Amino acid sequence: MSKHTDKVVIRLENVTRIYKVGVERIHALDGVTCELRENEYVAIMGPSGSGKSTLMNVLGCLDRATSGRYELDGAETTGMSDAALARIRNERIGFVFQSFELLGRSTAQKNVEMPLIYSQNGWWSRRRRARRMLERVGLADRVGHRPNQLSGGEKQRVAVARALICNPSILLADEPTGNLDSKTSEEILALFDQLHAEGQTIILVTHEEHVARHAKRVIRMKDGRVFTDMSLEEDRARRDTMNEHFGEASK
């Protein structure tokens, strides 16, 4: 299995995201600072309202920080134009969503090709690359199938292939098993494990503990801040200690 390097692919420094609701200011992110390195597999967790979804949107350049600094592959993104951010989303970040977000009238191959159509790199070889990527995720025999001809797990594999087609620095997965049954969820998570072993950097946003256990590092959010940030082993030990403490207290 490959190991993460010392190369920092994401650096956040005192990042805030403030929304105005009437006269009220909501601090969805309140001074988040952290670094993620190449080939890390990180789970971001937290209850509803903790800021994990806002953090995902900022990391994916879907939303801009109100203040602070966000560097991706050494480039400061905060002041970039909308066009520059769109290029980053297309070429340097691969997205996998809970609801798959596939084009219903297009085949699996056409769905996977889509990012390359808007890319400056490799659009001329998109068909060959899409077929190769579908083979990589175990769907060589589903190239010509449309989403309504695929199972939930197959749809998510198509979505993973589409996310990887531009060789992104980061694979950003938002509740990727949320619409799948337990067996299919484990198949998708096994695919993520394989991609990580091959060197892919993965950020997994989830509220499910068993899903987070596939990551190697767990960042827990609370009230817009990083509450804890530790390795999977440290996080598990901390939670075991808490469970023992509260178990004893309830006796």
Rg (CA), the chain: 19
DSSP-derived 3-state class of residue 224: coil
CB proximity list for 90: less than 8 A, separation 6 or greater: 115, 118, 119, 166
Pairing of strands 225-231, 75-76: unpaired
| Residue 102, domain member (yes or no) | yes
Q: Where does the chain show beta strands of DSSP type E?
A: 8-21, 24-37, 41-45, 67-72, 75-76, 93-97, 170-174, 201-205, 217-222, 225-231
pTM: 0.89
- Domain housing 188: 41-61+90-249
Place of tokens 């892919």: 200
Closest CA relative to residue 219, chosen from 35, 6, 61: 35
CATH number at residue 195: 3.40.50.300
- 76 lies in some domain: no
Domain-embedded: residue 188: yes
For residue 26, being part of any structural domain is answered with no
Q: Is residue 198 part of a domain?
A: yes
List the one residue out of 96, 89, 26 whose CA is nearest residue 61.
89
Distances, alpha carbon 82 to alpha carbons 11, 33, 101, 144, in Å: 20, 24, 22, 34
Let me know if residue 127 belongs to a domain: yes
| Three-class DSSP category at 42 | strand
Q: What is the pLDDT of residue 95?
A: 95
Per-residue pLDDT at 119:
72
**Is 36 within a domain?**
no
Q: pLDDT 10s per residue in the chain (251 long)?
A: 456 678 999 999 999 999 998 889 999 999 999 999 999 999 999 998 999 999 999 999 999 999 999 999 999 998 899 999 999 998 899 999 999 999 999 999 999 998 888 776 666 678 899 999 999 999 999 999 999 999 999 999 999 999 999 889 999 999 999 989 999 999 999 999 999 999 999 999 999 999 999 999 999 999 999 999 999 999 988 887 877 766 655 55
Q: What is the number of structural domains in the chain? A: 1
* Any domain includes 31: no
Return the pLDDT at 126.
Answer: 84
Please tell me the distance from the alpha carbon of residue 206 to that of residue 53, in angstroms, as a whole number.
Answer: 9
